[in-house]
Structure 1
Amino acid sequence: MTVFKAYMKIAKKNIWLILMYMGIFIAVTVMFQAFAGDREREYTAQSVSVGVITEDRGSAAQSLIRYIGSINEVTELSDDREILQENLFYRNVEYIVRIPDGFMERCILGDEKLQVTTVPGTYSGYYVERQITNFINFARTYAAAGFSEEEISDAMEQRESAQVELTGQNGGGAEQAYAFYYRYLPYLILCVLCYVMGYILMGFRRGSLPDRMAASAVPARRQKLEGLLASGVIAIALWGICILLSVVIYGSELLDSGKVHLYFANSFALLLSALALAYLVGSLVKNSDGLSGIVNILSLGMCFTCGVFVEMDLMSSGVRKAAQFLPVYWYETVNNLLSDYKTISGNIMPEVMGGIGIQLVFAVAFVCVTLAVSKKRS
Structure 2
Amino acid sequence: MQVFKAFFKTVKRQLSSLFIYFGIFLALTIFLTNNGPSQLETTYKPTKVKIAVIDRDNTILSKSLYKYIDDNHTIVNIIDDKDTMADELFYQNVEYIVIINQGFQDKIKAGDSENVIESVKVPQSVSGEFVDNQINQYLKTLNIYVSSGYSVEDAAKSALDTSAISAQISLHKVSDTSNVRSSTYYFFAYIPYILICILTVGLGSILITFRKYDLNSRIQCSALSITKKNISLTLSSLLFSFSCWALFMVLAAIMYNSDFFSIKGLLYVCNSIVFLLVAMSIVYFISYFVESSSTLNMASNVLGLGLSFLGGIFVPLEYMSSGVVAFAKFLPTYWYVKANEIIDTYTGTSTQINTFLSYLGIEFIFALAIFSAALAASKVKKH
Range into which the TM-score falls when normalised by the shorter chain = 0.5 to 0.7
CA drift at 1:41: 3.1
Alignment of 1:319 with 2:324, yes or no, is yes
CA deviation string 1:48-71 (max 9, x = no partner): 9xxxxxxxxxxxxxxxxxxxxxxx
Between the aligned partners of 2:296 and 2:337, the Cα distance in structure 1 is: 25
Deviation at 1:271, TM superposition (A): 0.4
Letter in 1 for 2:381: R
In the alignment, structure 1 residue 332 sits paired with structure 2 residue 313: no
Question: 2:7, 2:236 within 8 Å by CA — same for their partners in 1?
Answer: yes
Structure 1 residue 262 and structure 2 residue 267: aligned? yes
Please state if 1:205 is matched with 2:211.
Answer: yes
Letter in 1 for 2:378: S
* Corresponding residue to 2:250 among 244, 249, 258: 244
Matches for 1:120-269 after TM superposition, within 5 Å:
122-124=166-168, 166-169=175-178, 174-256=180-262, 258-269=263-274
Q: Distance in 2 between matches of 1:207 and 1:4?
A: 19
Q: Deviations over 1:290-333 (max 9, x none)?
A: 21222211111011111111111111111111111111111111
Distance 1:354 1:121 in 2: 59
**Alignment RMSD, CA only?**
3.0
Aligned partners of 2:348 and 2:68: how far apart in 1? 55
* Deviation at residue 335 of structure 1 after TM alignment: 1.0
Q: Distance in 1 between matches of 2:346 and 2:300?
A: 35
Which of 275, 287, 290 is the matching residue for 1:285? 290
Q: How many residues align?
A: 278
2:39 to 38, 41, 47: 41
8 Å Cα contact 2:313/2:337 also seen in 1 = yes
Structure 1 residue 289, shift from structure 2 partner: 2.2
Partner of residue 129, structure 2: none
Please list every run of 5 or more consecutive structure 1 residues that lacks an aligned counterpart in the other structure: 49-85, 93-116, 129-163
Q: Which residue of 2 aligns with 1:3?
A: 3
Cα pair distance change 1:44/1:14, threshold 3 Å = closer
Given that 2:264 and 2:343 are in contact with CA atoms closer than 8 Å, whether structure 1 keeps it comes out as: yes
Find the aligned partners of 1:284 and 1:42 in 2 and give their Cα distance: 48
Q: Secondary structure at the match of 1:168?
A: coil
Offset of residue 267 of structure 1: 0.4
1:90 maps to what in 2? 71
CA–CA separation in structure 1 for the residues paired with 2:18 and 2:70: 61
Q: Which amino acid aligns with 1:215?
A: C
Identity value in percent: 28
Q: What is the TM-score when the length of structure 2 is the normalising length? A: 0.65
Cα offset for 1:88?
12
**Superposed displacement of residue 22, structure 1:** 0.4
Question: Could you say which residue in structure 1 is the equivalent of 2:359?
Answer: 355
